[in-house]
Amino acid sequence: MASARPTLRDIAEATGISEAAVSMSLRGLPGVSEQTRQRVTQVAAELGYSRNLAASTLAASRSGLIGVVVGDLHNPFFADLSDAISAVAEANGLRVLLGTGHYDRRRELDALETFRDLRADGVIIVGTRIGAKAIEAIDAQMPVVAAACLPRASKLDRVVVDDRRGGRVATEHLIELGHTDIAHIHGGAGAGGRERLAGFRDAMAAAGLRDHRVVGGGFTAEVGAKAAVELSAEPPTGVVACSDVVAWGAIAELGRLGIAVPDEISVVGYDNSSIAAPVGDYLTTIDGDRATLGRRSVELLLDRLDGRTDPVLEVVAPRLVTRNSTRPTPPAKEAS
């Protein structure tokens, strides 16, 4: 029997359809059949469900604030994603509070706890390193959605890029251009770092190539520059960087060392952030679709506030954006 204020769970129980599918049907989102959509709409009407009515009923207990905790605003992808989240949140009448931990778990957790103390309606975490137990403890008090990171918290709503696929696509691009001596500058423990490294290794193994040239261990320009120095003793013909920031750090240092990109080394970035092509059409990169990440993270949070309880994991497919930092293998390397 439905409660006095029908929720997504009530509709799910009445139809035998998951809460996620119910939410998608009511929002008019793709991914459900027309038959499912009609069934959900019919039962919602019979139960007297109204999303706007639910929101107004809860307005007195809501602050209209949501928190966004970002791993590091120095990474332009996270800054760009925060902008996308803010735009969608504001379009839904929410105000956004922003906090950053600079990849420090304690500081990130402090930001989460501050938003809780300010009675935020919910929080979106972006690329953070907060542990699953700590996140779940906060989620028990206010809804938490993870965007662009995949904490081991199975009860949490998460919307992420398929970074393993992205790492593979970036590497396959160089292989298709004839490169066989390819290095990877990895992101270490940062969000997506392990997955992008795994994708690099998947592509190299599938092509029968060695994947021993892995350097780095972070998402900063300094990591890229240091990796470039390390690789310069015996330069590869191609480099897959774990982010655009790292790629630019490597490119700048390679230039200082007299190694031209892309004439001598092709470089692929990752994220298609605002610095990928600030002037002209330069850095080949992997696009993580931050617009979808931002929109869906807010929508998932709104669904939670409307009563959905079952966790949702959405995976966004990355795509290659080809620009001018990559080219076929230099002739000198082909002869060696």
Question: Model confidence over 177-222: pLDDT tens digits?
Answer: 999 999 999 998 777 899 999 999 999 999 999 999 999 988 899 9
Predicted confidence (pLDDT) per residue in 124-141, tens digit? 999 877 777 888 888 888
pLDDT score recorded for residue 333:
46
How crowded is residue 94: how many other Cβ atoms within 10 Å of its Cβ?
Answer: 22
pLDDT at 336: 42
pLDDT score of 60 more than 60? no
In this prediction, residue 12 carries a pLDDT of 83
Residue 194 to residue 31: CA distance in whole angstroms = 29
What is the overall mean pLDDT for the chain?
86
Number of other residues whose CB lies within 10 A of the CB of residue 43: 21
- State the pLDDT confidence band at 28, using cuts at 50, 70 and 90: low
Task: List, in order, residues 6 or more apart from 85 with CB less than 8 Å away.
Answer: 68, 96, 124, 126, 147, 294, 297, 298
List CB contacts of 136: < 8 A, sequence separation 6 or more. Answer: 153, 155, 156
- Least confident piece of the model among 157-171, 259-273, 279-293: 279-293
Mean pLDDT of 314-325: 95
Determine what percent of the chain is predicted with pLDDT higher than 90.
47
Looking only at the bridges linking them, the beta strands covering 214-216 and 182-186 are parallel
pLDDT given for residue 30 in this prediction: 60
Provide mean pLDDT across the span 105-133: 86
pLDDT digits (tens, 9 = 90+) for 233-256: 999 999 999 999 999 999 999 999
The backbone torsions φ and ψ at residue 33, rounded to the nearest 5 degrees and listed phi first, read -75, 160
Say how far apart CA 216 and CA 26 lie, in whole Å.
46
Gap between the Cα atoms of 218 and 127, Å rounded: 13
* CB 121, CB 99: distance < 8 Å: no
